[in-house]
Amino acid sequence: MSTISITDRAQSELSKLDLGESNFLRINVIPGGCSGMTYSAAVDTDFGEEDVEVFAADTLRIVTDQGSAIFLEGLHIDYSDDLIRSGFRFTNPNASGSCGCGASFGG
């Protein structure tokens, strides 16, 4: 299992999603953004052969595909309710760089 850390505040916000026994949060890394790669996140129910669980606590499960898993190693997820940039914040210590707005990163 990859090492992903999630702050209590982010877990609290994620608990507001429709997650449970059969639902989980899927985070994938996809091409895009000004730095080359970006995160995609959505509630999902379809756990496929190429999927791996990278985080589990209580009813919160995070799943990704095997190709994305290497980019999620060490990922830190936080939540901020700033007036300017509220939402989830992904900090990846393995990223070689990121864009100015923080929405994408380089591997």
- pLDDT tens-place string over residues 79-106: 998 877 788 888 877 765 554 444 544 5
Domain boundaries, the chain: 5-95
Report the CATH fold assignment for 5-95. Hypothetical Protein Aq_1857; Chain: A; (2.60.300)
pLDDT at residue 34, rounded to an integer: 62
Given a cut of 90, whether residue 39 has pLDDT beyond it is no
pLDDT at residue 96, rounded to an integer: 58
Task: Say what percent of the chain tops pLDDT 90.
Answer: 35
β-strand partners of 6 = 77
pLDDT at residue 50, rounded to an integer: 92
Q: What is the pTM of this model?
A: 0.78
Q: Which helix (H) or strand (E) holds 67?
A: helix 66-72
